[in-house]
Structure 1
């Protein structure tokens, strides 16, 4: 064992303390989101939120895009990211896949009563029943608002997509579903109502050609989730950061508008039992 003088011991201790402090200061919170819209739109929405969280948490926050919904689930389950934006179904998948170790922190107030819409560009199609024999697109297979819940409501209406539609397509994202319907690649499509309303507000869809034929009943949807192994203190800080967002400040207004939220509210796993039941009923879980 080497022998150190008292002064050298003190210097080593101070160095180790400094390195430890720097390591803590440089700790990174890794964030991801299901790719339910184009990569450029997701990055645009993430930017101001990442900056806000860095200020609130006093730590570096990094946004890491993923290629598909399954990757978003796996990255949080395997703790390769710390915080994930999930749809109701991807949360359920992550919760089941992790043995109950993935937990939702907050959701938008809108997610307590989320809905999907069915759209068409065909004048003869006026109802869900009129989609029989047609080509119809969902979003991603793992999408709550772009597949699972629309499928669930179709089944409740005695319409089986595999038996009653000429072809079932999966566009991969809500904006891609709108594009497919508008281009006539499919005669009908199901998607997230907030993306539809955003397209309408931004005049990115021609309402003289593409219109809504059915709006679903409400259900719980999106949330921000973490792994249960995240320290409680950090969980609490994250939750408070989201709950503190307010449209009364310029920063809060920008973030909430990008997130299409009035405000964030606490949520819990039990809110998604209905999604889990719908997934099991549809044979998707």
Structure 2
């Protein structure tokens, strides 16, 4: 993608975010982190608390997959992994169906969610406001990873190029989504001079699958989506790929980041990481679902928020997105 120009600040999550008190910023190094957290090692994620009383060791671990598609489908897809997680940690593991990025972030911030995958755009908010510690991402066996943001339209429709979106209804997912809102919004304004509500009518579908199906069913003229989601939906016949055409494809972005809450006991956090990297993918429902992506997602690879999410943080900075929360 081309360099992104600075845009006006946007509101993030219902209820909004407020700046952390200045006094709280002086208590410990934290950068953009909420005042509840410290970052003494400078890796941009919350440190494990040094006070034993702040550490948690739940009898049941709550796991959630990012709310990109139908949670009922992914409960069974993730069951084999959750069984492995339970075996490695010695804990019960329960699947939690989250309905939105905002609800997912709030659940971890409130201590009701221990292990999860946040979508690309939600990772910075989850890290800074909820104490999320990402450490893994799906990749191919050759360590290839990522997805592209695409603008899709009806295959037999009149829209042929990005400039043709003027006067049309364009679907986004939610304001926390990288490929579903932030990156495409910046692209539309900076590169094509198209501003929401002035040059096109924005609509929010809530999820990538809703946007994709909405374009196929002519509910929207176009949509900004993550092509990894579309690839999987076409592969399992959830949408007819022949009804959709792409008019723009970005450079790759990192995919869903998997991690745990910052205040788990270190021994438990280590076991959770072990479970991710020791999971046997061969013959699993996880492989059957995610190998349909391009590149195929066939294992968990180690990542750091500081390195792998830099491109996303740069987009957020260009859009004046604040990670402060209340």
Tell me the TM-score normalised to structure 2 length: 0.72
Query: In the alignment, is residue 105 of structure 1 matched against residue 138 of structure 2?
Result: no
1:238-277 alignment runs, 5 A limit:
238-247=272-281, 249-250=282-283, 253-260=284-291, 261-270=297-306, 271-277=308-314
Structure 1 runs not aligned, ≥5 long: 1-24
Question: How many residues are treated as equivalent by the alignment?
Answer: 257
Deviation (angstroms), 1:145: 2.5
Query: In the alignment, is residue 72 of structure 1 matched against residue 104 of structure 2?
Result: yes
Query: Structure 1 pair 141/26, CA: closer, same or farther in 2 (3 Å)?
Result: closer
SS at match of 2:181: helix
Distance of 2:102 and 2:58 partners within structure 1: 29
Distance of 1:206 and 1:171 partners within structure 2: 19
Query: In the alignment, is residue 130 of structure 1 matched against residue 164 of structure 2?
Result: yes
Within the candidate set 222, 231, 238, 2:256 is matched to: 222
Which has the bigger relative contact order, CA under 8 A and spacing at least 6?
A: 2
Deviation (angstroms), 1:164: 5.5
Which shifted more, 204-213 or 126-135?
A: 204-213
SS at match of 2:220: coil
Query: In the alignment, is residue 115 of structure 1 matched against residue 148 of structure 2?
Result: yes
Query: Structure 1 pair 74/207, CA: closer, same or farther in 2 (3 Å)?
Result: closer
Corresponding residue for 1:166?
200
Within the candidate set 233, 239, 243, 1:205 is matched to: 239
Deviation (angstroms), 1:120: 0.5
Say whether the 8 Å CA contact 1:139–1:173 is kept in structure 2.
yes
Moved over 4 A (4+): none
Offset from partner CA, 1:161-190 (integer Å, 9 cap, x none): 415543100101111111211121111011
Which shifted more, 139-148 or 88-97?
A: 139-148
Distance of 1:70 and 1:109 partners within structure 2: 26
Query: Greater helix percent: which structure?
Result: 1
Query: Structure 1 pair 66/152, CA: closer, same or farther in 2 (3 Å)?
Result: same
User: Aligned-residue CA RMSD in angstroms?
Assistant: 2.4
Structure 2 runs not aligned, ≥5 long: 1-56, 292-296
Deviation (angstroms), 1:76: 1.2
